[in-house]
Amino acid sequence: MLKKMARARRLLLTEGGLTLRLGFRKGLVAAFLGIGLIGGILYHSVDERTINNDVSDLNRDLLRIAHRGASGYAPENTMAAFEKAYHIRADMIELDVQLSKDGQLVVIHDSLVNRTSSGKGGVHKMTLNQLRKLDAGSWYNSRFRGQKIPTLEDVLQRFGGKIPLLIEMKSSAANSGIERKLAELIQKYDQQSSREMKDTIIVQSFNIKSLQTFHKISPEIPIAVIVSRSAEIKEEQLNELAPFAQYLTVSSSLVTEEIVTRIQRTGMKVFVWNIQNLLDIPSYINAGVNGIITDYPDIVPIYVYERL
């Protein structure tokens, strides 16, 4: 208890000249509530600042990862959501890729277009041209009417080398061969970028075999395994993943300090998904996670100098 209290001395948050020195968890929660109430003072003002074009440091103590872009503010997996994430200075953008009927890497989460577009039907049953004709923004808000389902190439052209990307390969029979197509596209942009793609891209999936296939093709690209069941984070399973994976993306329901420590002992880092509640953030910081995936990356502290 004394050790934990010593570690809890302060959480220092700095942005735009505002510094908060917080005490133990109650102080942290209270401060988070205050920040939520006065939002524009600390976080939303970031949107108006000159953006630093340097790529975020993946070794930062805590990464703020924009889930499907800043999808709390714009329709998920659209360029609008990615632009928002970039301009509120998220440390990384998470997105989903799968294959169209004609084998193009398109950015969309569901296997069907129904929920997030004006169309109906399976992604893998539509060509890129057909997908491009859909409105991927109006379902969220009429302000985003005309947003399109982007290709991964669209995203790399705009953001490659500017902000790290956490790319989830969707796993299904319809996405057979996605590993090689993704590796080849990353290689294409690696040759054009001023920084090596291994410094700016992480590839993740629930499907371990798919990740192993990708790793054999592009062993230089870091791998993250997404886990949602406690059986997947037992010591034996972790030891099987550690030789090829650098990260575990763990469901928030599984994250405890003990679990995080167990994973980190194998050399892997821990991302937690998908956090939406401001008041949940202190417990995940306290657990020692390396990244928080959220629709609202600007609710996560900007700099964490000392954990709880």
Q: Is residue 35 over pLDDT 80?
A: no
What is the C-alpha to C-alpha distance for residues 12 and 28, in angstroms, rounded to an integer? Answer: 10
DSSP type of residue 108: -
Domain spans of the chain, in order of start: 2-299
Find where tokens 């929660």 sit: 29
Rounded to the nearest 10°, the torsion over CA 196, 202, 207, 213 is: 10
Q: Which residue has the higher pLDDT, 11 or 272?
A: 272
What contacts 24+ positions apart, CB below 8 Å, involve 195-198?
A: 195/55, 195/161, 196/220, 197/160, 197/221, 198/222
- Contact predicate 168/97, CB 8 Å: yes
**Fold of the domain spanning 2-299:** TIM Barrel (3.20.20)
Q: Which two tokens stand for residue 189?
A: 């942009």
109 is catalytic: yes
- Contact predicate 263/248, CB 8 Å: yes
Helix (H) / strand (E) containing 202: strand 201-205
Cα Rg of the chain (Å, integer): 19
What's the distance, CA 200 to chain centroid? 12
| 92-99 and 105-107 strand pairing | antiparallel
- Contact predicate 12/306, CB 8 Å: yes
Q: Where are the alpha helices (DSSP H) in the chain?
A: 2-7, 25-37, 79-87, 128-132, 152-159, 178-192, 208-217, 235-241, 257-265, 281-287
Catalytic residue, candidates 44, 87, 109, 124: 109
What percentage of the chain exceeds 90 in pLDDT? Answer: 70
67 is catalytic: yes
Q: What is the pLDDT of residues 194-224, one digit of tens each?
A: 666 667 999 999 999 999 999 999 999 999 9
Q: What is the pLDDT of residues 92-141, one digit of tens each?
A: 999 999 999 999 999 999 999 999 999 999 999 999 999 999 999 999 99
- Contact predicate 58/29, CB 8 Å: no
Catalytic residue, candidates 67, 87, 124, 215: 67
Q: What is the pLDDT of residues 49-83, one digit of tens each?
A: 333 445 556 777 899 999 999 999 999 999 999 99
